[in-house]
């Protein structure tokens, strides 16, 4: 379990909405804080890997829990 500062539930949303919501949430967060994202979109696995590289916000972990995908991003 990774500690986090804010949670974003993007369940039921399809690409690109989980990424857009995560980008907005990160914009409201302080440097070093961690955002937990929950998504049901299978495409979000590759999307968040690419998003982390493009924005230099490290993807701390990702995985599947109960049919949902969970990501942890650190704001830099």
Q: CATH number for 6-74: choose from 1.10.357.10, 3.40.50.720, 3.30.1370.60, 3.30.110.40.
A: 3.30.110.40
Indicate whether 2 pLDDT > 80.
Answer: no
Domain extents in the chain: 6-74
pLDDT confidence of residue 1: 61
Sign of torsion over alpha carbons 21, 24, 28, 34: positive
How far is Cα 54 from Cα 52, in angstroms, rounded to an integer? 6
Global pTM? Answer: 0.95
15 among known catalytic residues: yes
Catalytic residue among 15, 17, 29, 45: 15
* Cross-strand pairs, 7: 36
For 33-76, how does the pLDDT look when each residue is reduced to its tens digit (9 = 90+)? 999 999 999 999 999 999 999 999 999 999 999 999 999 999 99
How far is Cα 38 from Cα 18, in angstroms, rounded to an integer? 9
Edge-to-edge strand list for the sheet holding 59-65: 6-10, 34-39, 68-74, 59-65
CB 75, CB 26: distance < 8 Å: yes
């Amino acid at each position: 379990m990774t500690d986090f500062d804010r949670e974003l539930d993007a369940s039921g949303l399809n690409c690109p909405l989980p990424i857009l919501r995560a980008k907005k949430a990160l914009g409201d967060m302080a440097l070093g804080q961690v955002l937990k994202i929950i998504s049901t979109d299978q495409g979000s696995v590759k999307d968040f890997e690419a998003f982390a590289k493009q924005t230099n916000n490290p993807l701390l972990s990702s995985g599947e829990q109960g049919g949902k995908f969970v990501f942890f991003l650190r704001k830099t």
